[in-house]
Amino acid sequence: MQVTKVRLSNFRNYIDCKLDLQSGRNILVGENAQGKTNFLEAIELLSSARSTRADQDNDLIRWQAPHMVAELEFDSRVGLQELRVAFAKDQQAVSGKRIEKRIGINGVTQKTMGDLIGRLLVVSFSSHDLNLLRGGPRYRRDWIDSLVVKLKPSLQEIYANFKKSLAQRNKLLKSICEQGKVTVTDQDQLLVWDQQLARFGARIIKQRLAVLSRLLPIAEEHQSRISRSQEALSIRYIFKTNEGTSTYGAIEDAEEVDEPEAEISTGPLDSAQLGAMEEAEIVKTLMKLLKERRFNEIRRKQTLLGPHRDDLVFCLNDKDAVSFASQGQQRSIVLSLKMAELTLVRETLDEAPVLLLDDVLAELDEFRQGLLMSVVEQDMQTIITTTHVTGFDPRWLDGAAIFQVHDGHVQRLPATQAGYVNHVV
Ligand SMILES: Nc1ncnc2c1ncn2[C@@H]1O[C@H](COP(=O)(O)OP(=O)(O)O)[C@@H](O)[C@H]1O
Ligand SMILES: [Mg+2]
């Protein structure tokens, strides 16, 4: 798969940018805050229908502009395709934050952003990915969920249904709390949402576990190579119950900290227990737990368990890597996970994804760069951003197209100047 053309109009700090990319390596060089990550963000948006770093859609539109367009053309096994999104600020809306979106695929208007998913395959690796270890549980959930959907785009429907049920259930919990009593109708309605939440929730948990079980052996092997067989990587899926929080609570989002509860009868289930359970059994467990903590949930006005609260724990030699691994080891774990992700996507979908490497190569020593290169085929399109190419294994630069990024402008350097970049930047 290969992105051939990108066009950005009023996207972030790009006023108007048209760029042709080549197969194999493309290296975007520029100082900080010039628009390198923004460029990759546009490609990710068109691939996954969302930006992992924008807090709101509004952020993607250039500050002074009323609308933005991001579009690209890519080549795949099924031929050339075009993806396009256009966001416009709704001038009438009081907050000015409402965004109108138009999505186009091969010139045909689509209903939702979700329609973009499953077309352009992208795997990205950025310095931000250290959040997989150091950030809150949300990063880990987002990562595994985006991988689940990448491998099987049809599953995005389950996520959408889950999100809807969760929002509805939380709304109901809030209204019951504010009423100060639970009517029979409320009880019936709650039961409906419990059922939906448990059904979609169990499906999500099962899918996450299935992907993890395929990813782990590959990541384990990479970690073993990086550590010269000293470190065994494992991943635990933590099915959160309030009771379990204190046991695994080292890496909590502030707003997710639960109070331990006495009345809960089921402790946290680990990956092995969950993996052995049929989906129907997980549904039952979720239903039972939701019922048990109903009053607490009403008091807290939110749903306290389900896949939106679960977490992953990465361990080296069975020790929690957040607490015990050095910074270098943590970086290695992220590298192992990302390489495994690349291999898994490549194998499952039988087509090479486009690899985005945002600001990571210069941070890797020669040995790690070599390992990464061993999973990146020479003809796999790779778009690399960096402030400098010093320290790059020369093989990354071999045949690469070099682009200079400056203040929202990207320009391909002629080969002679590219040579200059290799030696001087
Ligand atoms: N909506 C926006 N409109 C205009 N400029 C923006 C917008 N969002 C971000 N920027 C600018 O983009 C720049 C950051 O670009 P980025 O791609 O993250 O830099 P880098 O080259 O370091 O990766 C900053 O100067 C920031 O002010
Ligand atoms: Mg950047």
Looking at 301-414, list the stretches that DSSP marks H as alpha helix, in order from N- to C-terminal side: 321-324, 327-349, 366-375, 394-397
Residue range 2-121+351-424 forms a domain whose CATH class is: alpha beta
Calculate how far, in angstroms, residue 37's C-alpha sits from the geometric centre of ligand 2: 4
Question: Nearest residue CA, atom 19 of ligand 1?
Answer: 33
pLDDT tens digit sequence for 192-241: 999 999 999 999 999 999 999 999 999 999 999 999 999 999 999 998 77
Who contacts 391 (Cβ-Cβ below 8 Å, separation ≥6)? 362
Q: Are 336 and 328 in contact (CB under 8 A)?
A: no
Mean pLDDT over 280-299 rounds to 92
Calculate how far, in angstroms, residue 60's C-alpha sits from the geometric centre of ligand 2: 15
pLDDT tens digit sequence for 310-338: 999 999 999 999 999 999 999 999 999 99
Question: Nearest residue CA, atom 24 of ligand 1?
Answer: 33
Is the CB of 10 within 6 Å of ligand 1? no
Find tokens 């991943």 and name the residue. 235
Find tokens 């409906």 and name the residue. 192
pLDDT for res 270: 67
- Give the whole-angstrom CA distance, residue 85 versus residue 104: 6
Say if domain 137-323 classifies as CATH 1.20.1050.90.
yes
Among 123-132, 173-182, 261-270, 310-319, the range scoring the smallest mean pLDDT is: 261-270
Calculate how far, in angstroms, residue 31's C-alpha sits from the geometric centre of ligand 1: 12
Q: Are 126 and 360 in contact (CB under 8 A)?
A: yes
Is the CB of 59 within 6 Å of ligand 1? yes
- Give the whole-angstrom CA distance, residue 335 versus residue 314: 13
Please report the atom of ligand 1 found closest to the CA of residue 30: 21
Calculate how far, in angstroms, residue 14's C-alpha sits from the geometric centre of ligand 1: 9
Tokens of 413: 């350097």
pLDDT for res 262: 32
Task: Give the pTM.
Answer: 0.91
In the chain, what are the domain boundaries?
Answer: 2-121+351-424, 137-323
Q: pLDDT-based confidence at 10, cuts 50/70/90?
A: very high
Is the CB of 34 within 6 Å of ligand 1? yes
- Give the whole-angstrom CA distance, residue 21 versus residue 48: 20
Please report the atom of ligand 1 found closest to the CA of residue 38: 17
Q: Is the pLDDT of residue 255 over 50?
A: no
pLDDT tens digit sequence for 347-382: 999 899 999 999 999 999 999 999 999 999 878 999
The percentage of the chain sitting over the pLDDT mark of 90, rounded to a whole number, equals: 82
Calculate how far, in angstroms, residue 62's C-alpha sits from the geometric centre of ligand 1: 9
Q: Is the pLDDT of residue 13 over 90?
A: yes
